[in-house]
């Protein structure tokens, strides 16, 4: 069975009772993914970012490259199990505060779509091209990875995004 590589986005803006502040939550989540079935190949530096939606708490965000024999739907299930283990509950307001958010951004298998409603999975992640908190960290560890829908590299997507919306100095 072939091994697949995934780009996973990580985010947290709430303390965890055992792991502590959001940056430590991300580190603990990566540790829990790095086991016999999932191998963390690289992790970006963690950045702070403004929240989307109604939450007022700033986020700690990063990305990781993982390798596994698992297909995307199995990886999604594993990520949701890790989120649940860290206290994430899928009910409640969308865009709200959360102790851990893990999303599949890309995988080496190209586009993917499966499932319905809350269980749907679309790769590439539909919003990643407009999110500096994903593209910024991703360019550090996977800058030459190409978006299968646009053909552009993560570096190119990040340059387009930051050129369109320059960071205030």
In a domain, 134, yes or no: no
In this prediction the pTM is 0.89
Domain encompassing residue 76: 4-128
CATH number at residue 14: 3.30.70.560
In a domain, 142, yes or no: no
In a domain, 165, yes or no: no
In a domain, 15, yes or no: yes
| pLDDT value, residue 2 | 72
3-state DSSP of the chain: CCCEEEEEEEEECCCECCCECHHHHHHHHHHHHCECCEEEEEECCCEEECCCCCCCCCEEEEEEEEEECCCHHHHHHHHHHHHHHCCCCCCCCCCCCCCCEEEEEEECCCCEEECCHHHCEEECCCCHHHCHHHHHHHHHHHCCCECCCCCCEHHHHHHHHHHHCCCCC
How far apart (Å, rounded) are the C-alpha atoms in residues 79 and 8? 9
Say if residues 123 and 72 touch (Cβ distance below 8 Å): yes
Could you tell me which residues are beta bridge partners of residue 66?
6, 40
Say if residues 104 and 82 touch (Cβ distance below 8 Å): no
Estimate to the nearest angstrom the gap between the alpha carbon of 72 and the chain centroid: 14
Q: 10-residue block means of pLDDT along the chain (169 residues)?
A: 91 91 95 89 94 77 96 94 83 66 96 76 94 96 97 97 69
> In this structure, what are the phi and psi dihedrals at residue 6, rounded to the nearest 5 degrees?
-125, 145
Per-residue pLDDT tens over the stretch 108-133: 999 999 876 656 899 999 999 999 99
In a domain, 162, yes or no: no
In a domain, 148, yes or no: no
Q: Whole-angstrom distance between the N-terminal and C-terminal Cα of the chain? A: 49
Could you give the number of structural domains in the chain? Answer: 1
In a domain, 35, yes or no: yes
């Amino acid at each position: 069975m072939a091994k697949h590589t995934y780009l996973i986005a990580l985010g947290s803006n709430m303390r965890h009772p055992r792991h502590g502040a959001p940056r430590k939550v991300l580190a603990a989540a990566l540790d829990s993914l790095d086991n016999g079935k999932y191998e963390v190949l690289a992790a970006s530096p963690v950045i702070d970012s403004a929240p989307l939606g109604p939450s007022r708490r700033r986020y700690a965000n990063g990305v990781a490259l993982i390798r596994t024999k698992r297909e995307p739907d199995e990886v999604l299930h594993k990520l949701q199990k890790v989120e649940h283990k860290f206290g994430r509950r899928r009910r409640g307001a969308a865009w709200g505060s959360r102790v851990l958010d893990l999303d599949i951004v890309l995988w080496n298998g190209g586009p993917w779509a499966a499932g319905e409603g809350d269980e749907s999975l679309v790769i590439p992640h539909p919003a990643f091209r407009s999110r500096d908190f994903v593209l910024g960290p991703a360019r550090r560890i996977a800058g030459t990875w190409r978006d299968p829908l646009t053909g552009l590299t993560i570096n190119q997507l990040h340059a387009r995004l930051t050129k369109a919306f320059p960071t205030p100095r």
